Every structure is written in C-alpha cells, then in structure tokens.
C-alpha cells in the first residue's frame, strides 16, 4: 500500500483521534490541525495528498477550503468534508469543490476507507508532471502555533533552514537540517546571547511572538543534530525537574 500525507483539520478531539487512528493503521502519515490558521501554517510547509476537514469548523470550514482551492488554482488538492446533520445546501456547496467528497458523521469505517481510497487514487495522478509544491517558508504568531508544534512539524517534514522567533528586544534563531536541530541562539538587547539548549528552553516558554521559517541548506552545525521530538521531551523533563526542586526549596 502506498503511504500518503494526509492533513486532518477538525476542532473535535474525538473525531481527530478516531480519524487519525484509522489513517495511521493503514500506514498513512497524518498531520493534525485544530483550526484553519493551524492548517494554513502546515500547508505552507508541504501540500498534502488529501485534506480531511470538518465542514462546520469555526463556522468557516467550507469558506476556508474555497479560499484555499482558489489560491491553488489548477493544482489538485483532494478534500473529504465531514459534518453532523449537514443541511442539503451545505452538502451541495461542498460537493462543488474540485476533487471533493462528503461524508456524514457518524460514519461507517468501511465507507470512510472507500471514500479516502477514491480521493487518494485521484491524488496519485498529480505526480505525472504537475507541480504541486507550496512555498517552503512558514510565518505566523506563537498564538496561532506554539514553538513546540513548529519544531515537531519541521521534524515530520524533514525540513532544513532557519527558524527565527522574535518579540520586542529579543530574537531567537534555530538552525535545522533534515528535521534536526543543529544550533540555536537567543539574543536579548543588552545581554550576552544564550546558545544551544538553554536558548531553546527560553524560547519554548514564550507565550507570544512572531516566527518565520526560511527553508534552505543547513548553514551551521555547532552542536550534534538532535531530533525535534527528543529535544522537546528533554526540555520538558528539565522544566519538570526544576519545578520539583523549587517546590522542595520552598
């Protein structure tokens, strides 16, 4: 069976868990977004083979997909829309999307499999010379997508380049190669720069700020490359240990 890259966009945890589990068991690579803004950030990294989305998402699911299809123009992006008790008008609007299908919740697993398979079969045709890549950059705010999520996304897509995170008076840069952290630096006005894991730990604590990822060849590697998943888990463990020490001291 071929392995496909599928983006699941839904703000209902149960639906996300169920759909992701079904797709993963069939060997597909699944990326999840809980809002249109999260989905846009992930689409900027890589165009998937299929989008499965809630038609009612944030009252803009269908409108967002229409905008996305208009942006893509002639490039193919199959879409499977899911909805509870969808009115006939919504169903008809959804089916007018290019390369789309519609499925009512709750659904039978075998029907879900058949509709996904049919849409993915059409997706295979896009490899015959059709250009489907999207811009290799990524830009947004940490309010829309946390730094931990960005790092895991870079690992999943095996991206190389520089991730810059900034807020007034502070700029952090992370150099990545094939989804691994090679080096990091945090510069604060008037202070000595922090580097490597200490810099990443401080950046992960930022609740707000702007980020931009620019894809390209890895340019520096002061440290041994570290997988992003391992990095995030390691720093979370450090924070837990520090919190426990502080609690004992009190």
Torsion of CA 219, 220, 224, 225, to 10 degrees: -30
Q: How confident is the model at residue 61 (pLDDT cuts 50, 70, 90)?
A: low
What is the structure's pLDDT at 51?
A: 92
Placement of tokens 């998943």 in the chain: 229
Mean pLDDT value across residues 44-57: 83
Which is more confident, 174 or 125?
174
| Cα 178 from chain centre | 16
What is the structure's pLDDT at 167?
A: 94
What is the structure's pLDDT at 69?
A: 67
Mean pLDDT value across residues 17-34: 90
Q: How confident is the model at residue 39 (pLDDT cuts 50, 70, 90)?
A: confident
- 152: phi then psi, degrees, rounded to nearest 5: -65, -35
What is the structure's pLDDT at 87?
A: 73
CA neighbor of 51 nearest in space, from 68, 37, 63, 27:
68
What is the structure's pLDDT at 7?
A: 93
Is the whole model's pTM more than 0.85, yes or no?
no
When the pLDDT of each residue in the chain is averaged and rounded to a whole number, the result is 79
3-class state of residue 222 by DSSP: coil
What stretch of H or E contains 10?
none
CA neighbor of 50 nearest in space, from 118, 96, 110, 103:
118
Do the beta carbons of residue 225 and residue 160 sit within 8 Å? Answer: no
């Amino acid at each position: 069976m071929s392995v496909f890259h599928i983006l699941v966009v839904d703000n209902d945890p149960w639906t996300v868990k169920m759909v992701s589990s079904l797709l993963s068991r069939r060997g597909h690579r699944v990326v999840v977004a809980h809002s249109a803004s999260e989905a846009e950030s992930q689409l900027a990294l890589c165009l998937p083979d299929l989008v499965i989305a809630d038609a009612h998402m944030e009252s803009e699911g269908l409108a967002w997909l229409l905008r996305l299809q208009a942006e893509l123009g002639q490039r193919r992006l199959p879409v499977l829309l899911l909805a509870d008790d969808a009115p006939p008008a919504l169903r008809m609007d959804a089916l007018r999307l290019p390369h789309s299908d519609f499925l009512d919740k709750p659904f039978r697993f075998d029907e879900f499999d058949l509709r996904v398979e049919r849409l993915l079969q059409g997706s295979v045709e896009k490899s015959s010379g059709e250009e489907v890549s999207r811009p290799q950059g990524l830009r947004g705010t940490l309010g829309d997508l946390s730094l931990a999520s960005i790092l895991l996304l870079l690992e999943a897509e095996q991206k190389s380049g520089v991730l810059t995170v900034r807020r007034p008076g502070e700029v952090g840069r992370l150099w990545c190669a094939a989804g691994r952290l090679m080096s990091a630096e945090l510069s604060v006005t008037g202070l000595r720069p922090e580097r490597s894991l200490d810099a990443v730990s401080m950046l992960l604590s930022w609740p707000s700020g702007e980020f931009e990822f620019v894809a390209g060849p890895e340019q520096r590697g002061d440290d041994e490359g570290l997988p992003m998943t391992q990095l995030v888990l390691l720093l979370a463990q450090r924070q837990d240990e520090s919190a426990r020490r502080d609690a004992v001291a009190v």
